[in-house]
Amino acid sequence: KAGVTQTPRYLIKTRGQQVTLSCSPISGHRSVSWYQQTPGQGLQFLFEYFSETQRNKGNFPGRFSGRQFSNSRSEMNVSTLELGDSALYLCASSPGQPGGADTEAFFGQGTRLTVV
């Protein structure tokens, strides 16, 4: 069974540009969560999607958005990139809502975004 796949693995963008990251969850999983990891702030929750609906959102500006498709694949978009957006973006998938014994989150390798 394939794990969580995130593409691309590495990305370099210029300030002001926008970027789209992709996450393919484990087959059969319906929940996808996104996290930003930086040395200074650690792991910060961005948002969670379940069956194409955003169910929860972290404390990030509106430049950060996401969506989920009917096949559970998810994308996140960051517009008007800032230097501080440089981070490892991690996606996690769960069969259902995270937080239960049978719904623990499985993470992808992440996309390392560098904004110059």
Partner 1 sequence: GEDVEQSLFLSVREGDSSVINCTYTDSSSTYLYWYKQEPGAGLQLLTYIFSNMDMKQDQRLTVLLNKKDKHLSLRIADTQTGDSAIYFCAEWGHNTDKLIFGTGTRLQVFP
The contact set with partner 1 (CB under 8 A) reads 4, 6, 33, 35, 42-43, 45, 48, 55-56, 58, 90, 92, 97-101, 104-110
Q: At closest approach, how far in Å is the CB of 91 from partner 1? A: 8
Q: At closest approach, how far in Å is the CB of 55 from partner 1? A: 7
Q: At closest approach, how far in Å is the CB of 71 from partner 1? A: 21
64 - beta bridge partners? Answer: 78
Q: Are 87 and 38 in contact (CB under 8 A)?
A: yes
Tokens of 84: 């501080």
